[in-house]
Amino acid sequence: MTKSAVVRIGVLALQGDFALHARALEKCGVKAVEVRKPVELDQVDGLVMPGGESTTLLKLMDAWDFVPALEKLHGAGKPIFGTCAGLILLAREVESPTQFSLGLIDVTVERNAYGRQRESFEASGTAKLGPDPIQLDMVFIRAPRIRRVGPGVQVLAEHRGEPVMARQDRVLVATFHPELTDSTKVHRYFCDLVERCRAGA
């Protein structure tokens, strides 16, 4: 059976800004698919795990038995992109407090490290998503901090000297919300990763 010509990227639609992620993906020329059941992961080439509240997301994922399906998706070599709470769920270790995570990227994250909702802020940071560094607008909402980066993890963006976007193989994470800006640079980077993996590169 041949692959569809259209790249299909799922957005975990249990909580958070999944609709804005889907809109950004569509702007990049791929088909965005809102994923609400584990079986729907079989029909996508990659997945975005958006922000929200990580403990609530864990409860919803547990209720729908998402964890085995996500591990299967990762094992099949399909890229996953987690933002904010999505990053927390993908991390190797979670602090403040500790909680279950999938352990698919070797980083340690601290939850709500910048404070509560009123401490949310916008900033500009340096990113390397291609051959030359670029400036990215970043929106941080109750954002986690990446406190440790494992040896196999590449830091792609920083803010005030701290890593805010990182990648390990096919897993991409960001502490900020790229879907809340007008730029599609981060989503385009992920779409390119999905397309390369889909082609077997």
At residue 145 the predicted structure's pLDDT band, cuts being 50, 70 and 90, is very high
Q: What CATH number is associated with residue 41?
A: 3.40.50.880
- Which residue out of 74, 159, 179, 187 is catalytically annotated? 179
The answer to whether residue 138 is domain-embedded is: yes
Mean pLDDT check: name the lowest of 48-57, 79-88, 151-160: 48-57
> How many H helices and E strands in the chain?
5, 12
Rg (CA), the chain: 15
For residue 177, indicate whether it is catalytic: yes
At residue 201 the predicted structure's pLDDT band, cuts being 50, 70 and 90, is low
Please give the biggest Cα pair distance in the chain: 51
Q: Identify the pLDDT of residue 116.
A: 59
Tokens at 129, concatenated: 């998503």
Range of the domain at 176: 8-198
The answer to whether residue 119 is domain-embedded is: yes
The answer to whether residue 116 is domain-embedded is: yes
Residue type, position 147, single letter: R
The answer to whether residue 3 is domain-embedded is: no
The answer to whether residue 99 is domain-embedded is: yes
The answer to whether residue 1 is domain-embedded is: no
For residue 34, indicate whether it is catalytic: no
Q: Identify the pLDDT of residue 137.
A: 94
Mean pLDDT of the chain: 93
Residue type, position 180, single letter: L
Q: Identify the pLDDT of residue 38.
A: 97
- Which residue out of 21, 28, 74, 84 is catalytically annotated? 84
For residue 179, indicate whether it is catalytic: yes
Read off the pTM.
0.94
The answer to whether residue 68 is domain-embedded is: yes
Q: How many domains does the chain have?
A: 1
- Which residue out of 21, 74, 159, 177 is catalytically annotated? 177
Please state, in angstroms and as integers, the Cα–Cα distance from residue 32 to each residue in 40, 89, 146, 164, following that order: 12, 21, 28, 24
Mean pLDDT check: name the lowest of 14-23, 113-122, 129-138, 141-150: 113-122
The answer to whether residue 96 is domain-embedded is: yes
pLDDT digits 0-9 by tens, 79-120: 999 999 999 999 999 998 899 999 999 999 999 777 655 557
